Chains A and B, each alone.
Chain A
Amino acid sequence: MSPTSPTQPSAPPLAELYRDHNGWLLGWLRRQVGCGHAAADIAHDTFVCVLEKPRAMDGVKEPRAWLVTIARRLVFANWRRQDLERAWVAELAALPEAVAPSEEERAIVVETLFAIDRLLDGLSDKARRAFLLSQLDGLTYAEIAAELGVSVSRVRQYMTQALTRCYAAL
């Protein structure tokens, strides 16, 4: 068998997609996020997503609309990550003996918060609060019930909802 590669049957190959639309996507993203670096990162991640699911490319008639669909999801995620980071930095500043964490430690915390946020996505606000009061603050269900103004059995139901999501997420 000769090692020459067979001709690629797939419609618009990644290289072509990148060549034809990367510049345009970058421009679109820059208008969305207003920052060149973030736009470049998201454009890069968009193509990584495409690379990870080459089959999804089949039958795409409007490559730009499709790229924007993926990119927008990443823009949302990027905003959420920024929101979480900003909120955490504000919390850090308010901590009593602010042991300034390194850049790396901070990045790990922000990524972890982001992962937890996605894990709990779709839960009601009260269920999120109940779960986080238990998981992070270590409150008992009776304390959580008092905090949220609900019954202990309701707290148990919130915990079941949240833990079910954690279980399913893996």
Chain B
Amino acid sequence: MPRSDTVPPQADPAAAQAIAWAVRLRSGEAGEAERAAFRAWRQADPRHEAAAARLEQSLGLFDSLPGEAAARSGLRRALLAPANRRRMLRDTLGLLLLGAGSGALVHRQMPVNDLFADLHTGTGERRRYTLADGSQLWLNARSAADLAFDASQRRLQLRSGELIVEVARDPARPFVVETAEGSVRALGTRFLVRQEAGSTLVAVLHSRVALEPQAAAGSVLAEGASARFDRRAVYPESQAPRGIAAWEDGFIEVHDRPLADVIAALRPYRSGVLRVAPEAAGLRVTGTFPLDDSERTLAALAEALPIAVRRRTDYWVWIEAR
């Protein structure tokens, strides 16, 4: 079931501007001049007026809620209360027993009804799964993993791409992610694993993990650290795990990284070819860019760096040094 996180309003300039105005006016820093400018924009074109009115109408939903400050905070907490985990598990069981049609998975989380399953995502698609043991799994775009849970262990084979897992506690059954170069064993709760060409990148978001390259002694990676390993050795990495994991929220976040890294992160979100000329690949980039609107990201990079984005078609794009 392909699901896109992007929605069409960006394609409509009046809608995009109405949204941009709303974002600006809510910042807490907008003054009277800005409000007047908004009113002028709104009156300048009936399409502007229509777009602004539509957004207001949609947000009018909030008007039927109690207005006292204490109540508003309570409402927020109620909305952020997590879904009841027990029910999620019960439903997982229900799916297993029934085995009927698909298309029933409308919740934000996707329960995985099987102890052996092939999980995969397409171009531009991120997915969150709830596994049979209650663990949460996020799969980045163009990624694939095989699940193999049994009575003694929980194994997840990352075949390509990248995942973040939040492991449910089960002291009797270790949770292990396997890659082409070795395995990553959970000692705590939350970490990221990326299969790269010839190596595996691991970032620990919470607690610790044990890295076990196929032909070398294992080592432990602590919270807030990241590392790469191949079959023979582990190499420390300087990137912050939170930045590496930003795709979970739909962003690329880099601090002084080569342009080639940003482009590599963008590729699973685009169809066709996206190349960087060697002279441009090493340029350093710092910033946060949206993954779901890769055209905007390319435009932002072209503004910030001495590069030119050239294209033969939308499916053949290359980046050169200017």
Q: How many A-B residue pairs have CB under 8 A?
A: 165
Rounded to whole angstroms, the CA-CA distance of A129 and B77 in the bound complex is 9
Contact residues in A for B235 (Cβ distance below 8 Å): none
Q: Is the CB of B288 within 8 A of A164?
A: no
Q: Which residue of A lies closest to B24 (CB)?
A: A156
The closest CB in chain A to the CB of B253 belongs to: A154
Q: List the one stretch of B61-69, B194-202, B203-211, B274-282 in contact with chain A.
A: B61-69
B248 within 8 A of A: yes
Once bound together, how far apart are the Cα atoms of A157 and B71, in whole Å?
27
Contacting pair B74 A95 (CB below 8 A): yes
Q: Are B104 and A69 in contact (CB under 8 A)?
A: yes
Q: Residue-by-residue, is B57-91 near A (CB-CB < 8 Å gives 1, otherwise 0)? A: 11101101110011111111111110110010001
- Quick check: A88 and B74 within 8 Å, CB to CB? yes
Beta-carbon contact of A157 and B290 below 8 Å: yes
Q: How far is the CA of A127 from the CA of B87 in the complex (A)?
A: 25
Verify if B251 is at the interface (C-beta below 8 Å from A): yes
Counting chain A CB atoms within 10 Å of each CB, the highest count among B23, B51, B83 belongs to B23
List which A55-108 residues lie within 8 A (CB) of chain B: 62, 64-66, 68-69, 72-73, 75-76, 79-80, 83-84, 86-88, 90-92, 94-96, 101, 108
Q: Are B74 and A69 in contact (CB under 8 A)?
A: no
Stretch touching chain A among B94-102, B170-178, B223-231: B94-102
* B9 part of interface (Cβ distance < 8 Å): yes
Q: Are B74 and A170 touching (Cβ within 8 A)?
A: no
Cβ of A119 < 8 Å from any Cβ of B?
yes
Bound CA span A83–B288, Å: 34
- Whole-angstrom distance from the CB of A65 to the nearest CB of chain B? 4
Which residues of B have CB within 8 Å of A161? 250
B window 1-51: CB within 8 A of A: 3, 5, 7-10, 15, 18-20, 22-23, 26-29, 51
Our pick among B20, B76, B249 for the contact of A136 (Cβ within 8 Å) is B76
Q: Which residues of A sit under 8 angstroms from B251, Cβ to Cβ? A: 154, 157
- A156 with B23: CB separation less than 8 A: yes
Q: Does B54 count as interface, using CB distance less than 8 angstroms?
A: yes
Residues of chain B lying within 8 A (CB to CB) of residue A142: 28-29
- List B contacts of A115 (CB < 8 A): 61
The A interface is mostly helix, strand or loop, or mixed, namely helix
- What residue in chain B is nearest A70 (Cβ atoms)? B104
Decide if B55 is an interface residue (CB 8 Å cutoff). Answer: yes
A116 touches B71 (CB 8 A): no
Q: Smallest Cβ distance from A104 to chain B, in angstroms?
A: 12
A125 to B87, CA, bound (A): 20
Please name the residue on chain A nearest to B6 by beta carbon: A164
CB-based contact B106/A73 at 8 Å: yes
Which one of B18, B71, B73, B107 lies within 8 Å of A76 (CB-CB)?
B107
Q: Does A10 contact B (CB under 8 A)?
A: no
A44 within 8 Å of B (CB atoms): no
User: In the complex, what residues of B have CB within 8 A of residue A136's CB?
Assistant: 62, 65, 72-73, 75-76
Q: Is the CB of A168 within 8 A of B9?
A: yes
Quote the shortest CB–CB distance from B248 to chain A (angstroms): 7
Interface string of B207-251 (1 = CB under 8 A from A): 000000000000000000000000000000000000000001111
Q: Which of A72, A87, A134 has the most CB of B within 10 A?
A: A72
Q: How far is the CB of B206 from chain A (nearest CB, A)?
A: 14
Nearest A residue to B97, CB-CB: A31
Residues of B at the A interface (CB closer than 8 Å) are 3, 5, 7-10, 15, 18-20, 22-23, 26-29, 51, 54-55, 57-59, 61-62, 64-66, 69-81, 83-84, 87, 91, 94, 98, 100-101, 103-104, 106-108, 248-251, 288, 290
Binding site for B on A (CB under 8 A): 32, 62, 64-66, 68-69, 72-73, 75-76, 79-80, 83-84, 86-88, 90-92, 94-96, 101, 108-109, 112-113, 115-117, 119-122, 124-129, 132-143, 151, 153-154, 156-161, 163-170
